[in-house]
Structure 1
Amino acid sequence: MGLGMHHGAWRFREGDPFDQTTPEYYRRIATTAERGGLHAVFLADTLDVSEERFERPNLGALDPAVVLALMAAHTERIGLVGTSSTTFNEPYNLARRFASLDALSRGRAGWNAVTTFVPAVAGNFGAGELPPHAERYARAAEFLDVVLGLWDSWEAEATVGDKAGNVYVDPARVHALNHRGPHFAVRGPATLPRSRQGRPVVFQAGASEGGRDLAARYADAVFTAQNTLPAAVAFRADIRRRAAAHGRDPDAVKILPGLLPIVGSTAAEAGARKERLDELRGYRPELEKLALRVGVPVDALELDAPLPFARIRENADFRGSHGFRDAAVALAEREGLTVRELLHANGGGHLQVVGTPDQVADTAATWFEAGAADGFNLMIDVLPSGLDAVVDEAVPRLRERCLFPRDYLGDTLRDHLGLPPVTEGHP
């Protein structure tokens, strides 16, 4: 996430303010995460500058697939997950891009399918405005059908490589897709055979009715914004119920809330780190982002008053992320927070833990044991120091509790996540 999830990260950290455009920066992150046995590196994508407004490093300025290819060259085991939009891509190109990453990383790639909720992005792709929520999700469902169909267009036995018999590929085991739907017409097949893990792992991030159903139908793992335990338990139970209704094994869908750890060797040290980061950030940038996320103008948010809950709920034209909006509203209502207090506690929309490595491990264990999460997507406050703290201090605590493996469970991302093998079929 740029130089760190926190708005003040670029001022807090040592190093060049533009480190996030250098290969050395990403090599350092990837090798550190792999040293800690983390399952994957997960990159955001940003298709417009409007969210950050040049006030800090853009959280996804570089194309994730390009960065992940660089990381693949410097690692051997860790998974490589990149976000890419179904609203502003074509399925054939995207399927080819991530299949290429999966092949070159020997089965470590994952794709986070999102529908894009930032309105200004539409202006970069010839559209007047962002399509309505229901239209974005209808396109996303067809997009996923096409991508999965392309990844499935080669049978496992299609690659022969018989030099003596002069048979390279068995064409009878490579199948055209011949998809024709309301949004796409794609002949296929894919240009690449299956990877070591069958196909890239599919992540999805959406909390609306359409987003939840999309996740339950297609996703291997669901990234979600949850910052209260009851809401997280309910979300995971709902996705598992929906997956079963689609004929899927609920255990084959992993739920991964975002977790922002701000770590210190003592609680006081962690608190001082948080206070300094907030001081360097100021309130205005985060206030503007909160307004965008909950769907009201900035001037509707008073720092020392509660959120305007009625106005937020009455916004029938809201086109942003339902997950971020609902998580912020749930936290503010449950804790009785003012806007100022919400900005301090919200963790960029995710669960925030300010404390020692043991306190981070306690929170992760509590959520896992309560049925709120299968794991977590770590939103690192400052890179690389925050990642170092997780790898060197928090992970050992989880291993002591037998809640985190001491080594990778296999060679592919699917292995790492404990996902079942891909069931072979073809369109």
Structure 2
Amino acid sequence: MTPTTPAGRLMTVNVNVLGVGQRPAAWRSPDIAPDAIVDRAHWEEVARIAERGLIDALFLADRPAITDPRSRPVQYLDPTVLVPAMAAVTDGLGFVATSSTTLNDPVELARRLWALHTATSGRFAWNAVTTWDVEAVRNFGVEELPERSVRYARAEEFVTVVRSLWDTAGTDAVVDHEGSISVHAGLGMDRLVDGRPAIVQAGGSEPGWRLAGLVADGVYSVDQDPVAAAAHRDTIRGYAVEAGRPADAVRVFPGLAIVIGSTEREAWERFDHWEHLAPARYSLNALANALGTDLVDVDLDAPVPESVLRDAERRDAGWSAAYRRVLIERIRTEQPSVRRLLRDFGGYGQRFLAGTPEQIADSMESWFRSGAADGFNIMLDLFPSGLSDFVDHVVPELQRRGLFRREYGARSVLERFAGE
């Protein structure tokens, strides 16, 4: 029997598949084909390795916009297209695919997601995002990004309508809804699989926490401090109670970007190797984009100027509000030089850790047992090699500590998030 924690639950471990890796120069690895991100075989291999490691789910982000490939290749295929290909070569692995509540039609999306729920026998979850990317919004013919309050109000209404449509599966019932969204339709699809898709929410601001408490089964967070993470988790659970749900109905999974080495020095050398192969000024430009400013003339050996931080706090577009808030809090607390910040910015908005399998497991265990996290969204430097290292070295360490499963139990992602 799989050992459990004192609370009776195991750690949830999802892997965020960022194309060929989180490192911007990952595509230059000699064991990665140039066309890997559009090659089905690459995604199938990633899925097989993840299943070998008994990973809960692969998390597939999406940026539905044209990007400049000269800086780095990113994920170009729609996650809802990738899921069936990966599900076909696995039996237990789950999948979380991202689709926007701002840019989609609820009836069409409800049917598309239900089809994936059916095709994967319940191994599917929807990451409902409000979309903060101006380029993505314009790619859908929308001239201006709606304000955050408008996006989140629509998200609450949108997810509620989608849930109502799923409830009509296998019946002739119709959802009548009039609001900012008008719907008079049923799902029009059979109920061939028990349950429904799990719902994941990725917002880290107050509106996002409220939305998560109302509708989410899992939350992808960007906290980098365990005390703040525990407080935000309690806030989300409080909103769940206000919505008439149990406090533990929502599980929180902070992002954790890692680089693994047999020693800590080896891990940092691996990190530095790939960072040095990245395009010139890549990290500085990414940091500037995160803060919504130009850092061309910044002193690399001085802290980020207070004027830059104040301007960043007033911005409402260009980057995730949660990422920006956590980044600013960290800069103000630690006062690092820009040069030091750039090295520690290796997670590009996520908590970053370079170390041995034991060190990584130590950190994950500490956050999990302290109530700062119910699990993690793991981001790896290179795919598939970084994922193989995690599966072969970190997963056994988590199992040895009784924190992670030794075999798949519940089949559906919804059941896993609820606790096997």
Fold match by TM threshold 0.5:
yes
SS, match of residue 77 in structure 1: coil
Distance 1:68 1:402 in 2: 30
Determine helix, strand or coil for the equivalent of 2:258: strand
Matching residue of 1:187: 184
CA contact (8 A) 2:44 2:85 kept: yes
Residue 389 of structure 1 corresponds to which residue in structure 2?
389
The answer to whether 1:323 aligns with 2:326 is no
Secondary structure of 2:285's counterpart equals helix
* 1:114 positional shift: 0.7
| Contact 1:174-1:189 within 8 A present in 2 as well | yes
Task: Structure 1: give runs of 5+ residues left out of the alignment.
Answer: 159-172, 421-427
| 8 Å CA contact retained: 1:13, 1:382 | no
Q: Residue 70 of structure 2: which of 54, 60, 79 is its match?
A: 54
1:64 match? 79
C-alpha deviation, 1:117, in angstroms:
1.1
**Letter matched to residue 45 of structure 2:** R
Cα shift readout 1:306-352 (whole Å, capped 9, x = no counterpart): 22344434453422311111221222233321222222113111111
2:288 to 288, 291, 303: 291
Give the SS at the match of 1:83.
strand
CA contact (8 A) 2:258 2:379 kept: yes
Task: Give TM-score, length-normalised by structure 2.
Answer: 0.91
Indicate if the aligned counterparts of 1:399 and 1:406 stay in contact, CA closer than 8 A.
yes
C-alpha separation between the residues in 2 aligned to 1:6 and 1:228?
22
Compare relative contact order (CA 8 Å, sep 6+) and give the higher one, 1 or 2.
2
Structure 2 residue 94 is the aligned partner of structure 1 residue 79: yes
Aligned residues: 400
For 1:207, what is the secondary structure of its paired residue? coil
Amino acid in the other structure paired with 1:248: R
Aligned match of 2:174 = 176
Q: Is residue 306 of structure 1 aligned with residue 306 of structure 2?
A: no
Secondary structure of 1:273's aligned partner = helix
Partner of 1:411: 411
Pairwise CA distance, 1:188: 1.6
What is the CA–CA distance in structure 1 between the aligned matches of 2:200 and 2:298, rounded to whole Å? 33
- Please give the per-residue CA displacement for 1:28-64, whole angstroms capped at 9, x wherever unaligned: 00011011000001101011234x6531111x31000
> 1:103 — aligned with what?
118
Structure 2 letter corresponding to 1:349: G
User: For 1:362-392, what per-residue CA distance to the aligned partner results, in whole angstroms no more than 9, with x for missing partners?
Assistant: 0100111111100000111110111001100
Matched, 1:398 2:404: no
* Distance (whole Å) between structure 1 residues aligned to residue 310 and residue 239 of structure 2: 25
- Are positions 1:42 and 2:59 aligned together? yes
Per-residue deviation at 1:177? 0.2
Q: Is this contact kept in 2: 1:304–1:340, CA < 8 A?
A: yes
1:94 paired with 2:109, answer yes
Instruction: Report Cα offsets for 1:215-243 as digits up to 9, x if no partner.
Output: 11111000011112222122112111221
1:423 is matched with which residue? Answer: none
Kindly indicate whether residue 207 of structure 2 is the aligned counterpart of residue 210 of structure 1.
Answer: yes
Counterpart amino acid of 1:26? Answer: W
Conservation of the 8 A alpha-carbon contact between 2:134 and 2:144: yes
Percent of residue pairs identical: 39
- Are the aligned partners of 2:130 and 2:155 in contact in 1 as well (CA < 8 Å)? yes
Residue 262 of structure 1 is matched in structure 2 by 259
Q: Secondary structure at the match of 2:157?
A: helix
Structure 2 residue ranges without an equivalent (≥5): 1-17
Please report the TM-score for the alignment, with normalisation by the length of structure 1.
0.89
Distance 2:211 2:361 in 1: 31
CA RMSD of aligned residues (A): 1.8
Q: Whole-Å Cα distance in 2 between the matches of residues 303 and 196 of structure 1? A: 56
